[in-house]
Amino acid sequence: MARMTTVQAAVEILKAEGATCLFGVPGAAINPFYKAVQVDGAFTHVLARHVEGASHMAEGYSRARAGNIGVCVGTSGPAGTDMITGLYSASADSVPLLCITGQAPVARLHKEDFQAVDIASIAAPLTKMAMTVLEPAQVPGTFQLAFHLMRSGRPGPVLIDLPLDVQLAEIEFDPETYTPLEVFKPCASRAQIGRALDMLQAARRPLLVAGGGVINADAAELLVQFAELAGVPVVPTLMGWGTIADDHPLNAGMVGLQTSHRYGNASMLEADFVLGIGNRWANRHTGSLSKYTEGRTFVHIDIEPTQIGRVFAPDYGIASDAAVALQLLIEAARDRDLPDWSDWVRECGARKQAMVRKTDYDCVPLKPQRVYGEMNRVFGPDVRYVSTIGLSQIQAAQMLRVYKPRHWINAGQAGPLGWTIPAALGLAVADPEATVVALSGDYDFQFLIEELAVGAQFNIPYIHVVVNNAYLGLIRQAQRAFDMDYCVQLSFENVNSPGLGGYGVDHVRVAEGLGCKALRVFEPDDIAPAFDHARELMREYQVPVVVEFILERVTNVAMGTELDNVVEFDEPEAVAELVTASQG
C-alpha cells in the first residue's frame, strides 16, 4: 500500500486499464489531475482548442480500433457542458468514452460557486454512469467501475466529476494489486441459435443485416465466415459499413432512405427473411416500418436486451454479443444442410452491377459525384474515411467504397456538425500509419475549424476533403417541401478573396492561417492530381491538408420517404427502367 493523492491513484488506474492518450484542456479546477499526469509522464496529451472538440477527438480515438477508450479531460462548469455533445454522440453509437471534469470543492457545490454546475445530473441521460465523487476514498472504485461499465454490455460513455478538494486529498492505494473488473457480455445459447437457424432455413430470399455491434465486437471476420458458409447476402448498416467489403460477392449494398444503394433497397424489398446482428433498426435505414417489415420474417440479435423490440417486435430476439452469436451460428450451420440460395445471390449481384449511380460528370462548377468517384480511384481499399452529417455524408455513403471494418468512422445517430475535424484527429492519433481522409461540407467544416491548429501543433497529418457549395445543402433540400429557401445560404462576396466568386469563407486561407496546408480545385481533371499533391504535402509537412472543391450551388441528392420511393436525380435511362422493373 502507498499513500498518494486521489488523482495519482486515478492515473495509475488509467494506465492499468490501458489508457495511453488524453485529449483535453487544462483549467483551475482540474489542475491537480494534470499535475499527476505530468509527474507520471506516461501519457500523450493532445491540447484541444475547444472541449467539445476534445470529446470528439477522444471519440475518434475510441472508434479507431477494438479495445480503445478515448479519454477527454476538462475543468469545471462549461468544460463539462461542452462535452455533452460528445457524450451524446458516443452514447448514440455505443462508443466507450471517459470524460473527466474538475469541480468546485464539495462544500461549495450548493453555493453557486464560480463554474460550479451539476454536470453529473446534466450528463446522466447520455452516459452509463455520471458521478460527482464526494468522498476521496471512492475515487479508485469509481474509475474501476467506469471502465467496467464502458466495456460491458452495450458499450458507452462515462463521466467522472472530481471536486478540487477531492483531487487534493490523500488516500491509501496499491497500484501493484489493482485488477480491472471482469467485463460482462450476454451470450446466446445453442438452443437460441438453433431456433434462429430453423427460421433462416425456411427462407427463400434471406438477408443478413450487419450493424455497428459487429464492429464493436471485432467480429467482422466471423460475419463474413458465416455469410459465406450459409451463402446469404449481407446488408451492412451505415455503422456496420466495412464489416464485409463492398466488392465482396455477398455484399448486397446498404439499405435506407438516404445513406443507401439502389440495389440494396431493391434486394431488401425482395427479401422474405432478415437476420439482424448488432443493429438497431434506425429510422433512416428502415423508413416506415410497415413497408420495411411487410412480407418479411425477422430475427434480431443484439447485445442490449432492451434494444430488442424497441423499434418493432421481431419474430425472434436473442440478447447476445455479436461475436459469440456469430461463432455459434458458424458452428451450428456446419452441422446443417442449409438450402442453396445461389439463385438469390445472383439476383442481388445483378442488381448491384446494374443499379449504380453515375459519377463521371465533367461539369464546371463540379458535381460532388465526380469528387467521390475520384476518391474511390485515388485512395483505394486501405483508406480510413471520417464524416458526420449533411448531403456530403449522405452522398459519400451512396458512392464511396469501404473494404474493412472501422474504415468508415461516422457519427451515425447524433450527426453533430463540426464532429469531423476532431474525430479525424483522434483517429489519426490512434492510427498514425493510416491514410485518414475526412469529408465535410462547408458548414460542418466551419463549426470546429479551429481544431485544425491542433493537427498543426501536434503534427497529426490527415487529408480533409471539403465539398463547398456555400449552402446548408441538406436543409435546403428539405426546405423544398415547404417551398422555401430560407437562412440556408452561406454565400457572400468575400472582400479579401474576390476569386472565390461569392462562395464566402476562404477555407484555404483560414486553414493556412491555422498552420495547415490547403488546395482549391475548380476543374474535374484537377481532382485526382490534387489528391496526389495532398498526400505529398501531408507526408512532407506532417500537418492536416485541406482539399477544397468548388461545387455547383445546388445538387439534389437521392433520398426519399420509403424504401420503394427514393427519388433519384440524373438517373441514366437504362437504370431507371431496371429500378421501375424491380419495384413493379
pLDDT tens digits, 204-257: 999 999 999 999 999 999 999 999 999 999 999 999 999 999 999 999 999 999
Region 293-320 average pLDDT: 96
Burial class (CB in 10 A: 0-12, 13-18, 19+), 343: exposed
C-alpha cell at 572: 441514366
Check residue 281 and give its pLDDT. 94
Does residue 330 register a pLDDT over 90?
yes
For 2-177, give the CATH class.
Answer: alpha beta
Active site annotation includes 475: yes
Active site annotation includes 383: no
Got the DSSP string for 410-424? E--SS--TT-HHHHH
384-387/297-302 β-pairing: unpaired
Give the three-class secondary structure for 538: helix
Check residue 204 and give its pLDDT. 97
The shares of helix, strand and coil residues in the chain, as percent rounded to the nearest 5, are 45, 20, 40
Tell me the average pLDDT of the chain.
93
Quick check: do 2-177 and 368-557 share a fold?
yes
C-alpha cell at 412: 451515425
83 contacts: CB under 8 Å, gap ≥ 6: 51, 52, 54, 55, 72, 74, 99, 101, 123, 159
Measure the CA–CA gap between 61 and 55, rounded to whole angstroms.
Answer: 10
Catalytic residue among 417, 448, 505, 579: 417
Confidence label for 96 from pLDDT (cuts 50, 70 and 90): very high
Catalytic residue among 250, 257, 472, 474: 472
Q: What percent of the chain has a predicted confidence (pLDDT) above 90?
A: 83
Catalytic residue among 11, 13, 22, 51: 51
CA distances from 406 to 63, 323, 410, 434, 448 (A): 7, 16, 9, 12, 23
CA distances from 505 to 392, 438, 443, 452 (A): 18, 19, 10, 16
Say if residue 365 is preceded by a cis peptide, omega within 30 of 0: yes
Active site annotation includes 417: yes
Measure the CA–CA gap between 527 and 426, rounded to whole angstroms.
Answer: 26
CATH topology of domain 190-354: Rossmann fold (3.40.50)
pTM of the predicted structure, to 2 decimals: 0.93
Closest CA to 514 of 436, 453, 440, 444: 453
Q: Please report, in angstroms and rounded to a whole number, the separation of the first and last CA atoms in the chain.
A: 74
Does residue 575 register a pLDDT over 70?
no
Q: Where are the domains of the chain?
A: 2-177, 190-354, 368-557
Does residue 583 register a pLDDT over 90?
no
Q: What dihedral angle (degrees, nearest 10) is formed by the CA atoms of 37, 41, 42, 47?
A: 60
- CATH for 368-557? 3.40.50.970
Provide the 10 A C-beta neighbour count for residue 155: 26
Catalytic residue among 7, 11, 25, 546: 25
Check residue 581 and give its pLDDT. 40
Active site annotation includes 51: yes
Active site annotation includes 277: no
Check residue 584 and give its pLDDT. 38
Catalytic residue among 47, 475, 510, 575: 475
CA distances from 48 to 23, 72, 379, 444, 448 (A): 7, 10, 28, 18, 11
pLDDT in tens, 473-505: 788 888 888 988 888 888 889 999 988 888 999
